[in-house]
Amino acid sequence: LRRVRTHHLRQWKLEGHKWAMLTTYDQYTAAIFDRAGIPVLFIGDSAANNVFGYESSLPVTVDELLPLVKAVSRTARRALVLADLPFGSYQRSPEQAFDTAVRFMKEGGAHAVKLEGGVEMAPHTALLTDSGIPVMAHIGFTPQSEHSLGGYRVQGRGDSGQALIDAALALQDAGAFAVVMEMVPAAVAAEITRRLHIPTIGIGAGVECDAQVLVWQDAMGLREGRAPRFVKRYADLAGIIGSAATQFADEVASSTFPAPEHSFED
């Protein structure tokens, strides 16, 4: 079982082999997704919403994310383990980004980090990659900038498409090994995918990206309620777990559980 490396992702782009990335924040889903052949396991700052119960990704801290990164990196045998740098932990300077990324690599055991932003993140990306830290870029709608972008909106429509292309090229030049594109028109994402030699990973960016990423609780229906347009539900875990909990409670109430086989004799 060979470890997935960034050069494999580059090779897959050349071969036209598309791949999937999932978030994961704990040992069991990490083990399941690793065995399922998901090559990149991603501890997103979306743990803010999907683990910690915050309203947005802004409040989550490095100290909160680190134990999740450790759990995944202890578990993953084949996958490349990618950690997200949370809001406020890297934007101030390339040096701040370096310090935070080093914590995720040394303490967390991550193999690479992801950070949000366009051309303004090129110096940060360059320092990290020059220091031996693989960086995945993230452009288009970047949730940490929700308040400056004016809410959840598609980015790169019309004239702003060119700025997105320029950002992708600048981040590639700075050394990024891949770039996430979130909520970008499919045609713009396709153009960027053609122009770059590093892989693009789409989330709400159409089918022509080299890879796709989803938050696992969205993709598997653990999270209930309305999901964004770009989410597809592949399972109904909330339904499965909910009815299991109800059945357990019913069987306790009716003295059906525990049965003799769950009990010990004298």
Question: Phi-psi region for residue 60, left (φ > 0), alpha (ψ -120 to 50) or beta?
Answer: beta
Residue 180 interacts with, from ligand KIV, Na ion, none (CB under 5-8 Å by kind): ligand KIV
Cα distance between residue 196 and residue 157, in whole Å: 19
The residue of the chain with the least Cβ separation from ligand KIV equals 44
Tell me, what amino acid is at 79? A
Is 95 marked as binding a ligand?
no
Does the annotation mark 265 as catalytic?
Answer: no
Asked whether position 215 contacts ligand KIV by CB under 6 A, the answer is yes
Q: 3-state class of 257 per DSSP?
A: coil
Asked whether position 144 contacts ligand KIV by CB under 6 A, the answer is no
- Active-site choice (107, 146, 182, 261): 182
Residue 23 interacts with, from Na ion, ligand KIV, none (CB under 5-8 Å by kind): ligand KIV
Q: Which is nearer to ligand KIV, 205 or 245 (CB)?
A: 205
Here the tokens at position 173 are 């030049």
CB–CB of 193/200 below 8 Å? Answer: yes
Q: 3-state class of 47 per DSSP?
A: helix
**DSSP codes of every residue in 78-134:** SSEEEEEPPTTSSTT-HHHHHHHHHHHHHTT--SEEEEEBSGGGHHHHHHHHHTT--
Q: Which is nearer to ligand KIV, 44 or 185 (CB)?
A: 44
Is 116 marked as binding a ligand?
yes
Stretch that binds ligand KIV, among 39-47, 155-163, 224-232, 244-252 (CB under 6 A): 39-47
Residues contacting 247, CB < 8 A, separation 6+: none
Q: Which is nearer to ligand KIV, 86 or 130 (CB)?
A: 86
Q: Which is nearer to Na ion, 167 or 191 (CB)?
A: 167
Is 45 marked as binding a ligand?
yes
Here the tokens at position 101 are 């990324």
Shortest Å distance, C-beta 29 to Na ion? 17
Binding-site residues for 3-methyl-2-oxobutanoate sit at 45-46, 84, 114
Binding-site ranges for ligand KIV (CB under 6 A) = 23, 44-46, 84, 180, 182, 203, 213, 215
State the catalytic residues: 182
